[in-house]
Amino acid sequence: MDQSGVAGAAEAVAGRTIRVLRSDGRADAVDAIAEAMARRTPGDVVWVDLVDPTKASLDEVAATLGSDVHLHPLVLEDVFATRRRPKVDRFDDHVFLDLVEVTTRPHDEVDPGGDRRRRASLPLSGGEWLTAGAVSAIIHRDRFITIRGAGTLPGITRIVDEWRVAESERRDGPGLVVYTLLDLVVDSVVMASDVLEEDVDELEQKVIEAGVPRTEIQAEAFAVRKATSLVRRVAAPTREAVGQVLRRDGRGFLTVGIADDNVPYLHDVHDHVVRVTESLDALRDELTSVLEFNMALQDNELNEVMKKLSAWAAIIAVPTAVTGYFGQNVPYPGFSEPAGFAMSVAMIVGGALGLWLWFRRLGWL
């Protein structure tokens, strides 16, 4: 099949995409798993991509891929768990990857009250949302299954591109697939980190600008800090997962299933995730500094308000003290008449209301 038609033909099957990755670099999209298993030759890899599957459909796919494809109960529990943490489980004949993609999306593309089983969402400044979507993979030597939510990791077809351009020594199946999935996830973390860095830079500029409400800066800083913590909770265990893949200690499927030619690429992914983890740690420190500086400026502004109020209180206290001490009660228009009492009440209420409105306008009340 022509490579340009692979993605279009494969996406035609809703919820289930089946490909045969050929040892010569070609990728054929087929309609049924049984057909893929029948058409494969030595060196080929069968890939089944599932979008929002049920447990029954996942069991059916595994059974169709072969009697030696066993799904451990703990693997099924992780795939359908609500709270996800990136990790790698190594078995004798296969490996289970549980990863999380983070990305920014426009507000109109996110349903905060939607399926929280496979995606979490947090609002960012500027109307965007930060989303974290789960991606799982069950990888055998020449067969693998990927499980993801709708809209999560749309660039997963890059596996086909990597397979096509890779040298024949790298088309070992598990090694190239593991590298591509980890690289996609780490790239999403790097891009999310870049967005957060821009948000922190904007916050630092707002802090020193005049006229920006301190409460608005405080709210935005807490939102960015929460988003940074979410990305950090993805990056740190992803770093551990990549390190575990690189730990070729003679145990499990990854040790014998990954070709030596793919190891340098995995080291490159590890370097990227280490750098982004350190960058997120630095961002958290910057956000702490922004919050502390904003609160310090807020305290300074409060001190200025207190000085103004104290000055006005001192000014008003002088005539109040003098007239009160001498008991001054001079005649005025309406003196000893009901109209005068009404006028004095109106002046008291009007003056108090005017001061209240003025202080509200200044933001003191």
CA 342 to chain centre: 63
- What pLDDT shows up at residue 271? 94
CA 313 to chain centre: 51
- What pLDDT shows up at residue 268? 93
Q: Where are the beta strands (DSSP E) in 57-211?
A: 87-90, 95-106, 119-123, 128-139, 143-148
Q: At what angle do helices 263-326 and 174-208 cross, to 10 degrees?
A: 20
Q: What tens digit of pLDDT does each residue of 310-353 get? A: 777 866 776 676 666 555 576 767 777 788 778 777 877 787 78
Q: What is the pLDDT of the chain when averaged over all its residues?
A: 80
The angle subtended at Cα 70 by Cα 64 and Cα 72, nearest 5°, is 135
- What is the band of 1 on the pLDDT scale with cuts at 50, 70, 90? very low
Tokens, residue 1: 């099949």
Q: Is the pLDDT of residue 184 over 90?
A: yes
Q: What tens digit of pLDDT does each residue of 209-258 get? A: 777 787 888 888 888 888 888 899 999 999 998 888 887 665 555 656 67
- What pLDDT shows up at residue 181? 92
The angle subtended at Cα 38 by Cα 259 and Cα 74, nearest 5°, is 60
Q: Where are the beta strands (DSSP E) in the chain?
A: 16-21, 27-30, 45-51, 87-90, 95-106, 119-123, 128-139, 143-148
Q: Please state the rounded mean pLDDT for residues 4-20.
A: 57
